[in-house]
Amino acid sequence: MKENQEHQVDIIDEDLYEEIDDEEMYELVQQARQEAWERERERTKNKQVKRPFPKWMFWLIALALMFNIVALLPQTLSIPAIDFLMTSTKLSTSQTIQSYKDAVVVIETEGSRGTGFSINANGKIITNEHVVKEEAEVTVAFRNDGLFRASVVETYPEVDLAVLQIIEGKDLPFLSLAKQALFEEREKVTFIGNPLRFQGIVNEGHIIDYIQLKEWDEPVLMIEAPIYRGNSGSPIINEQGEVIGVVFATLDHTEYGTVGLFIPIDYYHNRQ
């Protein structure tokens, strides 16, 4: 355990953006591939044209296209983004993963949106404290069960956790919690969240070790994984299908580079 290392949190993300489902993600990437293929076919065809195309016109069109892409798809279709979208699409073919996704929710407040997950059939929700900060009630959306109002019943800012309770919820999908965040070195885990402009993205990572943060009394866990803005509140799920932690930030680490940080589920149990 690397409790003697101290690092400042680099990014704490608070926002979740518009919804997009797996089919739309797949179609988006396939459309991009088709357009690239069409451009290559046109380029090959135009090689037969004898009249030279002015270089200045080529660069003008290229700059215009680049400007339009940047304007329409900020922070969305970068190469890393396409990589994790394709990974999510592949993982989402599993019925087990689909059942996990059913329990991951969108949390909407008056000024922002965030992520959480249900832990019982009556709609008890765990999320980050910074997602619902200073709110008494929020809107919660399940992907298959619709919208609900939920009360913020507990907050634990010292470990960035909050507990919500859906008003009049029943028979809702939920995830099982592990009793402790037990793990082996480099153990593979799954997490589901809402990075960048997407919702319900599934990905995998490997647990690194504990780390002690400045201004935290208890250490948190580092994960080597593609975690982006919007993953706050994502459940970390082990190979037994149990939640062992909650994503809350990323960190620029001197040895491991950019890593994700998650709160061990023990800290939730210790406060109940």
Nearest-angstrom CA–CA distance, 31 and 8: 41
Of 160, 176, 217, 234, which residue is the catalytic one?
A: 160
Q: Which amino acid is at 34?
A: Q
Which of 232, 253, 266, 269 is the catalytic position? 232
DSSP 3-state of 215 = coil
Structure tokens at 141: 């959306």
160 in catalytic set:
yes
187-203 burial: b if 16+ Cβ within 10 Å, else e: eebbbbbbbbbbbbbbb
Question: Can you tell me the distance from the alpha carbon of 272 to that of 268, in angstroms, rounded to the nearest whole number?
Answer: 7
> Can 266 be counted among the known catalytic residues?
no
Environment class of 33 (CB within 10 Å of its CB; exposed 0-12, middle 13-18, buried 19+) = exposed
Active-site hit among 130, 145, 234, 269: 130
Residues with a known catalytic role:
130, 160, 232
